[in-house]
Amino acid sequence: MPRPLLHGIRKSMQWLTVSLGVLTLAVVVTAVDQGTSLEGRLLPSHLRGAVPWKTISADQMEKGTTAPADTNVIIQIPDDASQMTLDVLTGYRGRDIRFWGYCFPEDYDRDSALSKRQFPGTIFLSHKEREMRLEQQMNLRQENFTVEEDLTEEDLNQERTYRGAIRHQQEIFRGGTSCYLMTEQPLPIGTDNDKDRANSAVERDIGSDAQNADTDADGIKDGPETFFLATNPVLRDSDGDGLIDGIEDTNRNGHRDNGETDATKWDTDGDGLCDGICKVDKGRRLRGEDKNINGVLDEGEFDPLLIDSDGDDILDLQEVFVCELGGGTEC
């Protein structure tokens, strides 16, 4: 990227994320193709034309696409799209990536918006952007703070507002909405019509079915598997221990809770026996802790969360070896 343009983009992002002075904004919204797409301009006058534009159509949102970095992006959410959170819309990238934007109101009027000292819609900020903004505000406070002028009741309650601060307003995104977006890194964006908390771009990338909330039918939705449990949404048994993911995640909430085995580990307690039942010795033997792979500790089974299930100071694996050496067939 040419140095002057890179400098211009950096200055633009700095200006947008530090001050966001509404008086220096130029907002121009033009309907194209009989209203099927929108282009907007939201830049200070000296940077207008320096940053490229991209319109993401409703069809592209349904299929899943990528919002490019350092680009003015207009997003059109399909009319029939299911409502989504900001995290779902942006593939849960907001904790690591700075981005911001705003959504146009249904009754948007350009001339009316230009005449007011405010944005024409509701603003959204990524988690990372909010963190960076708070840090900038706190640094500004430290630089300008004096006991004589600034030690007020408002300061003590940490409620002081800073010039240039903006408030996060938009969290739920509904069908038929058009939004503006600026991001520092590419974002996977799309709709979530199967309501599994993974948008169509994410599902395209991981190979899951965007029309099926639980692609591998293991009892856990694709989104929680991908983002929280870290299992594979297209494999029923992600760690290959003989237990399907929905049995290891007993309450199927997409998180490993107390008393649950780890659906990403073949051997949760590290005792050498897999959590379920697995082939060993080149497939000649079956060995494991949950012999009937039902996710319940039954009589005669070892506890997959303890290396010494019965507390006799003999490790579970050692007990299995002794049993097998003695000719046992159900060890």
The model's pLDDT over 275-306, given as tens digits with 9 standing for 90+, comes to 999 998 887 888 999 999 999 999 999 999 99
DSSP 118-162: S-SSEEEE-HHHHHHHHHHHHHHHHHH--HHHH--HHHHTT----
Which residues, 6+ apart, have CB-to-CB distance to 239 below 8 Å? 231, 262, 263, 264, 265, 266, 275
| DSSP bridge partners of 122 | 103
pLDDT of residue 280: 86
167 band by pLDDT with thresholds 50, 70 and 90: confident
| Residue found by looking up tokens 């049995």 in the block | 247
How many degrees, rounded to 5, is the angle at CA 79 between CA 78 and CA 82?
80
31 pLDDT higher than 90: no
pLDDT of residue 324: 86
**Between 245 and 29, residue with greater pLDDT:** 245
d(Cα 71, Cα 53) in Å, to the nearest integer?
Answer: 6
pLDDT of residue 105: 79
How many degrees, rounded to 5, is the angle at CA 132 between CA 130 and CA 137?
90
For residue 271, the number of C-alpha atoms closer than 13 Å in the C-beta half-sphere is 24
Mean pLDDT of 42-52: 55
For residue range 80-134, what is the model confidence (pLDDT) as tens digits? 999 999 999 999 999 999 999 989 877 666 566 556 555 667 889 999 999 988 8
Q: For residue 203, what are its two tokens? A: 């599902």
Smallest Cα–Cα separation from 170: which of 103, 232, 267, 107? 103
42 pLDDT higher than 50: no
154 pLDDT higher than 90: no
Q: What single-letter DSSP state applies at residue 81? A: P
58 pLDDT higher than 80: yes
Least confident of 96-110, 185-199, 263-277: 96-110
Whether the CB-CB separation of 96 and 210 falls below 8 Å is answered with no
